[in-house]
Amino acid sequence: MIQRCDLNYFKGADFSAVELPYNQGNYNMVVMLPDAGKTVNDLVSELSLENWNSWYSRFAKADVQIQLPKFKFEYEEEGMIPIMTDLGMGVAFNPNGADFSRINSNADLYISEVRHKTFIETNEAGSEAAAVTSIGIAVTTVGVDPEPINFVANRPFVFFINEKSTGSILFIGTITEPATE
């Protein structure tokens, strides 16, 4: 998948990164590509809230020719009750302690099951994550353009999907064996 367009781009000390808009700009995917000779683990070891905020604040519009591999992930977790109990929600799963009377005052309700499923796919048509989809961007050029920044994800990389107004990261993943065509 190859595309040339204006994207937010940042060149860090040991990596380069692009921001790919989703939907109407409310969400985006950030792809961080370690420099040659660096690994995904090198990049992940540098991740912290402070570094992420610093890097993200320095993205700027640039003419980028991006090449990304197609990828697809699906994950389903059925054993969410212990996880959510550890987060302090245990009473909601207790038939004798849960209080959902504001939902239904005629029955004693409790949560008996929690499942979590995530999905992300990136291909020629764009990218879809859960219910979030992107719109492909095409650029029409006239005359002679300067050379774009080449961003070729042909080695392992890290990606994030975040909500822009809050900065909340919704997904994070790594592609360890990118298949290029």
Task: Determine the distance from the C-alpha atom of residue 30 to the mean position of all C-alpha atoms in its chain, rounded to a whole number.
Answer: 6
pLDDT tens across 90-143, in order?
888 788 888 878 877 777 777 787 777 776 767 666 666 553 322 222 222 344
**What confidence score (pLDDT) does residue 41 get?**
92
Which SS3 state, helix, strand or coil, does residue 86 take? Answer: helix
Residue 5 banded pLDDT, cuts 50, 70, 90: confident
Which SS3 state, helix, strand or coil, does residue 88 take? Answer: helix
Residue, of 164 and 37, whose pLDDT is higher = 37
Residue 65 banded pLDDT, cuts 50, 70, 90: confident
Residue 71 pLDDT > 50, yes or no?
Answer: yes
Mean per-residue pLDDT of the chain: 77
In angstroms, the CA 125 to CA 103 distance is 41
- Domains annotated on the chain, with CATH: 2-70+136-175 (2.30.39.10)
pTM of the model: 0.66
Number of helices and strands in the chain (H, E): 3, 11
In angstroms, the CA 126 to CA 135 distance is 6
**What confidence score (pLDDT) does residue 17 get?**
94
Residue 86 banded pLDDT, cuts 50, 70, 90: confident
Q: What are the tokens at 165?
A: 């107004």
**What confidence score (pLDDT) does residue 135 get?**
24
